[in-house]
Each structure stands twice: as C-alpha cells, then as structure tokens.
Amino acid sequence: MENKKMLKVSCAVCDVRNITEDLLSTYAQVAINSAAVITNREAQALLGRHGVKLSAASTLNLEGDVRFSSVNGCGRIFPGQTMPEEKVFLIVNGALDIEPGSEEILKNYAGIMVNGALTCPESMTGLLSSITVNGATKTYPDGCIRLKKTTVLDRFFHLRTKEDALYYAAKQIVALDPGIGFAKMAEKRARFSTAKLLVSEALVEAAVPLFDETADIVVLPDGCAYVDDDAMLDENLVKRYGGKLYIDGSLSITPDSASALDHASFLRVNGDLLVCRSMKDKVMEMDMVYDRLRVTGGLLISGRVHAEITAGLLADAEEGVSLMDCASVAFAGDVTAELLKEKLVSLSGCAMVICADKEQKSVIEALAEDVASFVLAGEKEEENEDDDAGDENTVKINSTTYAF
C-alpha cells in the first residue's frame, strides 16, 4: 500500500471551513501554521477527528455565508465604496485607514481584523468594538485636513492655507524655512495639530500659538537643516545642508568624517550616533545630542541578507569591522580567535550567526548584542540535510492566504 504523505500549510490566513473528510483522509498527517484561522463548527469537528496539528495566533468562527477578504499591505475604507451583497469579514495584514463618513460602510462588515495600525477620526472610536487590532489605534481630529505623517512646511504653504482650517500631521511638522508665513496663516485662523513641532528660533513666537498645547516643541537654531533619513557625515552632506543639522535617523561618523566634523557647528540626531572608535574621543568633546552612542569599526556592514566574513576582510580593515542588522552572518574557517579579538569591534541586531568552530563562537558571543541564534557550521549543514530528507514525504503549501 502506498505510504501517505504529510500536508504542511504555512500562511498568514487559512480558511478551513470547506475542508472535507476525503481530503484529510488522503494524508497521514495535516499541520496548519497560520496567523489567523477561519473556521466553523463542522470544520472544527473534522480537524479534531483527524488529529490535525493547528498552530494559530487567532481563530475566527464564521458561521453561515460569510465571505472573508484579505488585504496585504495598506487598506482603506471610505464613503461610497462598493460592497458585495453578502457579509464580509476583512483581514488587513498592514495598516487600515478608515476615512470620515464611513459609518454606514462599516456596518456591512461581519468583522474586521487588522494586523497593524488602525487610523480613524476621533468621533468613530465608538464604532470599533467589532474590530480586532493587533497593533496601535491612532485617531485624528474630526474635520481636519490630513498632511503627510512628517510634513516639512515651505515658504509657499501660507498661499495654500484655507480659512479656519485645522491641519493634522501624525508624527511631526518641521518649520525651519525662514520664509514660512505664520503671521499670514494666523490671519486666516489656520491651526495645526501634531505630536511634535521642530521650529527655528526666529519663528517660535509666530508659530507656537497656531499649534495645540499637546505638541512637543523642539527649538532649533536658525539655519538648521532637517535630514529625514539615515546619513553619513561627510563633505557632501555639509555642502548640501550646511553645518547645522537635525538628523531624523542614524548618523554615521567614520575616519573620513574628520573634515566635515570641523565644519559642523550643530548636530542633533534623533536616533543612533554610529561613531568609528578612532573618532570617539573627538565626538565626545562636542556638544552633540543623540539617542544612543554606538562605537563601530572603520568598516560597517549593515542591512545585509547574508554577510560572509573572512580573515582577509578582517585583516584589511585597519580600524576594525562592525556588523549590524544582518539576517545571517557566517565566519569563515580561516578566521582565528586572535583576529576576532583584534578586528571585530561589534556585532548587533543579527538574526543568525554561523561560526566555523567553538573557539570562534565563544569570542563572538562575548562581543555580540541582540543576536537571535548562534550555530556551528557543521550543525547548520546537518539541519539542512534533515530538512531535505523530509521534503520528499511532505506536501508543502506556503501562501499569504489559503482556503481548503
């Protein structure tokens, strides 16, 4: 008799309501791994009789003719959108934005699950009892004009300002351009609502009365530039933005930053300050504000899916090597413990570190921070061989959504 195979389903949303006795009898074992499983009484009974292995963060019981719909990414509910005749359960794997005036549309849903952030007007919070949010719920003032999450005002903004308008930015408003006409906005009775205001000294008195009292006010020197990204301090950065900088991200300072650092009269970093160890003493002498100081090597390897570290790479790095936020890092067999102690400055935020031997592993573990797992290269190969051996007896289904 032919050996039955195993069925393994891995997905974000799995609908088992139409699973059948015939299908379950086809397999020796069925395993379902899903963030959300949609089921009903009949399906639950079948799964129990056949010993189905079910792993799920949440289980939804939908009886009757309820259709489920899923959105992978950003979802939107808005007035006048077309709705199907049958009831729908909506799953959003991402952010959901509910626009003003959508009260009647919400009534057409059997339920909603948001695996991410939900945003809606303040007046609609009472309608969210049927919505499951696995993330943050954010509200904004009714009747406001929504701007970008981070909005940088320019000297032309007052020309577009509407009478009696309330402008809302979820994260912050940046007001550093000396030509911004707050006085003209005040004449139009314009107001602003936001979590944080970055404003230059010359504009403070005109700007602050237009913002709600809950806003965090950060006053920056006149001539300061806003950089909305991670940055490397070098001559190009200073030439483009000047010597007064507000970095909304991380700032890297390397041996090549020495000249630019001399021209920087103001530096504020809303994030990590990554400083090459040879520059640390010079940076510490400066009046600089940052969230966290992280000392790195002269060579910083960051954000890689896979990084291979050899003895040659370490030896050639005069000021050492740092690894940060890589999915996997593998150290070659020619990397000695002595070389690691001399050249590996830091290793942090990496999911997996593969070491050639136990001596390597002990040195790297002592230096590492926030690493999910350490494995030896031989053990990794054995795991891969075991996985390959089991593949021929297993039917695997990997999908964002799957319905039986």
CA 271 to CA 399: how far, in whole Å?
36
| pLDDT-based confidence at residue 178 (cuts at 50, 70, 90) | very high
Which DSSP symbol is given to 65?
A: S
Taking only the tens place, the pLDDT of each residue in 122-139 is 988 888 877 888 888 999
| pLDDT-based confidence at residue 175 (cuts at 50, 70, 90) | very high
Contact 45, 23 (CB under 8 A): no
pLDDT of 142 higher than 70 = yes
> 372, exposed or middle or buried, with CB in 10 Å at 0-12, 13-18, 19+?
exposed
H and E: helices and strands count for the chain: 13, 32
pLDDT of residue 389: 46
pLDDT of residue 401: 78
Which position has the higher pLDDT, 37 or 382? 37
CA 130 to CA 237: how far, in whole Å?
49
pTM, entire model: 0.75
Neighbouring CB atoms inside 10 A of 263's CB total 13
pLDDT of 73 higher than 60 = yes
pLDDT above 70 covers what percent of the chain?
Answer: 96
Taking only the tens place, the pLDDT of each residue in 274-286 is 998 888 888 888 8
Angle at 231 between CA 178 and CA 199, to 5 degrees: 25
pLDDT of 273 higher than 50 = yes
| pLDDT-based confidence at residue 55 (cuts at 50, 70, 90) | confident
Plot region of 164 (φ>0 → left; ψ -120 to 50 → alpha; else → beta):
left
pLDDT of residue 390: 53
Plot region of 29 (φ>0 → left; ψ -120 to 50 → alpha; else → beta):
beta
Contact 321, 299 (CB under 8 A): yes
CA 275 to CA 282: how far, in whole Å?
10
Question: What are the structure tokens assigned to 15, written together?
Answer: 């609908």
Cα separations (Å) of 2 from 5, 7, 82, 126, 396?
9, 16, 50, 58, 19
CA 140 to CA 119: how far, in whole Å?
8
Please give the average per-residue pLDDT across 363-379, as a whole number: 85
pLDDT above 90 covers what percent of the chain?
Answer: 37
| pLDDT-based confidence at residue 106 (cuts at 50, 70, 90) | confident
Taking only the tens place, the pLDDT of each residue in 112-122 is 888 889 999 99
- Which segments within 46-136 are labelled E, that is strand? 53-61, 66-72, 75-77, 87-93, 96-98, 109-114, 118-121, 131-133
Q: What is the mean pLDDT of the chain?
A: 87
Please give the average per-residue pLDDT across 90-105, as a whole number: 88
